[in-house]
């Protein structure tokens, strides 16, 4: 069995919360579909959900650091994919 590991980079947007529920609900739905979630980006992560980047200073935030780490791992050959909330919504919808 293949286990997909997903990391959330930031707080879910209000539209996402209205459609799918809070982060705990989304986490539960992902687990019911066989995925795992992780608070950290590492070489075992398959997807990084990047949410919305509302600030031009995103690089200096916690979610910016996760994106930066994912890009560094990608350059080293790790197969990690950044997805948007919309992609996650399609997966869960």
- Interval 21-34 mean pLDDT: 90
Query: What is the chain's alpha carbon radius of gyration, rounded to the nearest angstrom?
Result: 13
Choose between 74 and 91: higher pLDDT: 74
- Interval 55-76 mean pLDDT: 78
Alpha helices in 1-93 (DSSP H): 14-20, 23-32, 62-75, 85-92
Cβ neighbourhood burial of 49 (10 Å; 0-12, 13-18, 19+) = buried
Distance CA 76, CA 19 (A): 36
CATH architecture assigned to 4-92: 3-Layer(aba) Sandwich (3.40)
Query: What is the per-residue pLDDT for 73?
Result: 95
Write down the domain spans for the chain. Answer: 4-92
């Amino acid at each position: 069995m293949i286990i997909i590991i997903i990391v959330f980079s930031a707080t879910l947007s209000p539209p996402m919360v209205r459609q799918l529920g809070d982060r705990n609900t989304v986490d539960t739905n992902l687990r019911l579909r066989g995925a795992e979630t992780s608070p950290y980006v590492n070489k075992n992560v398959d997807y990084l959900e990047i949410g919305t980047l509302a600030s031009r200073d995103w690089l200096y935030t916690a979610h910016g650091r996760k994106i930066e780490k994912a890009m560094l791992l990608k350059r080293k050959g790790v197969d990690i994919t950044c997805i948007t909330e919309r992609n996650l919504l399609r997966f869960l919808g």
